[in-house]
């Protein structure tokens, strides 16, 4: 038994996760009732990640700001630009794909008890109020905008603190990071439980009726992950983007796919940034911020389901309205995490552009809940993995620029 345990730990984490996926799938398809206890592993794993993530973000960001040396530059401007470009292009890809492969829906009910926002102003207002949330409430509710705001403010206030205080913050950060490593090592068991629960709860047959819609959604997200994002990375770094792209999809996207939570994936992304040797002052802020505003997958969901609704009702869409939908999808997606229910509850807002009645729009939200086991998994995987991708891209682009400047200086001297 001891030798088996040693060999298990010597395997790469990705291989162990794949074994967990296969075991969860086999148990769900063969003995779903007898193995119902397996689902608790998934709940415990996601719960542990969600529990540790707010504390991790608070202390890591606070420490990074407190010890940040004056004059040292971070890449936050470039990263924010990449987040915006990625989300807008995702919305554009979804609109074009919906025109090329139009989909209609069989409308359903099932979203009567949820309340979507009435407009973009309400979404932005929610985000602004999240910034000034009570710090204790922000941690309890995993409000990462509020946590980031307080971490930055406290970090600035602690800049002039004595070295012992800063060392204590660093020790807390290291301790929480160690706890995160322990939780991540339990990923194979957790993902086994998540796979089992997803298949037993939703079943595979319920998804077949919406196969074409799922293909469009997943196809758009794959196109963005494997074509659009690599193109952005290449333009910025002038290097082959695919080694980095495949690494973030493998080591961040797989976790996010099964946990279906950008918040739960923050510790995973921070660990990956550390593995890539990125600047902690930058990724300590960019990763939790990306979990809040970098929402390419959400932009795809909003645009595709909105245009599917329009096609179902036979409404004509002109170029200007389609362009406006792209902008609305991108802006709404950036605020998706500030609204209970995420991207699906922003569909009525986008449908309003075409005069779609609220009751029909809410039926479309019901369709979203049905396909959520696939849609939300792929959406979260794209959103979360691109947080690391764009953070790394900004740093590599900075190194490339500084390298060029160094060469110019040496030639001139």
Convert the pLDDT of each residue in 149-198 to its tens digit: 898 899 889 988 888 888 898 898 888 888 888 888 888 888 888 888 87
More confident residue, 365 or 5: 365
- What is the pLDDT, as a whole number, of residue 330? 84
Within its chain, how far is the Cα of 94 from the centroid?
Answer: 18
Average pLDDT for residues 114-128, to the nearest whole number? 64
Tell me what the pLDDT averaged over the chain comes to.
83
Q: Tell me the residue range of the domain where 72 lies.
A: 2-412
More confident residue, 107 or 358: 358
Convert the pLDDT of each residue in 253-289 to its tens digit: 988 888 887 878 888 899 999 999 998 888 988 998 8
CATH, residue 401? 1.10.3860.10
Q: What is the DSSP secondary structure assignment for residue 204, as one 8-state letter?
A: S
- What is the pLDDT, as a whole number, of residue 336? 63
Cβ atoms of 127 and 335 within 8 Å: the answer is yes
Cβ atoms of 72 and 332 within 8 Å: the answer is no
Q: Please give the Cα distance from 289 to 287 (Å, whole number).
A: 5
Q: Give the three-state DSSP class for 99.
A: helix
Least confident of 1-10, 353-362, 381-390, 402-411: 402-411
- Token pair of 39, please? 């689902």
The total of structural domains in the chain comes to 1
Cβ atoms of 369 and 108 within 8 Å: the answer is no
- What is the pLDDT, as a whole number, of residue 83? 93
Q: What is the CA radius of gyration of the chain?
A: 22
Cβ atoms of 237 and 396 within 8 Å: the answer is yes
Between the alpha carbon of residue 114 and those of residues 110, 207, 402, the distances in Å are 9, 22, 51
- What is the pLDDT, as a whole number, of residue 396? 93
Least confident of 176-185, 197-206, 368-377: 197-206
Q: What is the dihedral of CA 185, 336, 313, 372, to 10 degrees?
A: 20
Average pLDDT for residues 326-347, to the nearest whole number? 71
């Amino acid at each position: 038994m001891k030798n088996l345990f040693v060999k298990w730990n010597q395997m790469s984490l990705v291989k162990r996760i794949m074994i967990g996926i296969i075991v969860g799938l086999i148990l769900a398809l063969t003995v779903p009732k007898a193995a119902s206890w397996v689902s608790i592993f998934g709940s415990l794993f996601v719960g542990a990640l969600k529990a540790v993530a707010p504390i991790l973000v608070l202390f890591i960001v606070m420490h990074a700001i407190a010890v940040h040396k004056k004059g040292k530059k971070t890449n936050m401007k470039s990263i924010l630009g990449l987040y915006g470009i990625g989300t807008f292009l995702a919305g554009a890809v979804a609109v074009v794909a919906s025109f090329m492969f139009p989909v209609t829906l069989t409308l359903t009910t099932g979203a009567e008890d949820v309340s979507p926002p009435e407009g973009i102003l309400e979404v932005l207002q929610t985000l602004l109020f999240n910034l000034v949330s009570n710090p204790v409430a922000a941690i309890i509710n995993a409000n990462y905008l509020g946590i980031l705001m307080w971490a930055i403010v406290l970090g600035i206030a602690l800049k002039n603190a004595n070295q012992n205080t800063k060392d204590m913050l660093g020790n807390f950060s290291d301790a929480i990071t160690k706890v995160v490593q322990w939780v991540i090592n339990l990923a194979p068991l957790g993902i086994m439980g998540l796979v089992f629960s997803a298949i037993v709860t939703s079943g595979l047959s319920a998804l077949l009726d919406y196969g074409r819609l799922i293909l469009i959604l997943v196809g758009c997200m794959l196109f963005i992950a494997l074509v659009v994002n690599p193109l952005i990375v290449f333009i910025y770094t002038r290097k082959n983007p695919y080694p980095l792209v495949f690494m973030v999809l493998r080591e961040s996207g797989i976790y996010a796919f099964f946990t279906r939570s950008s918040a739960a994936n923050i510790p995973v992304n921070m660990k990956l940034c550390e593995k890539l040797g990125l600047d902690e002052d930058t990724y300590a802020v960019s990763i939790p911020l990306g979990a809040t505003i970098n929402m390419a997958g959400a932009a795809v969901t909003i645009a595709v389901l909105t245009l599917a609704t329009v096609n179902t009702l036979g409404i004509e869409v002109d170029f200007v309205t389609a362009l406006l939908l792209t902008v609305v999808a991108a802006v709404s997606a950036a605020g998706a995490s500030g609204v209970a229910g995420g991207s699906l509850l922003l569909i009525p807002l986008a449908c309003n552009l075409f005069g779609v009645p609220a009751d029909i729009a809410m039926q479309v939200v019901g369709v979203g809940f049905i396909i959520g086991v696939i849609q939300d998994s792929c959406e979260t995987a794209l959103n979360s993995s691109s947080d690391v991708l764009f953070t790394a891209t900004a740093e590599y682009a900075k190194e490339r620029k500084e390298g060029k400047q160094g060469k110019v200086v040496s030639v001139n001297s």
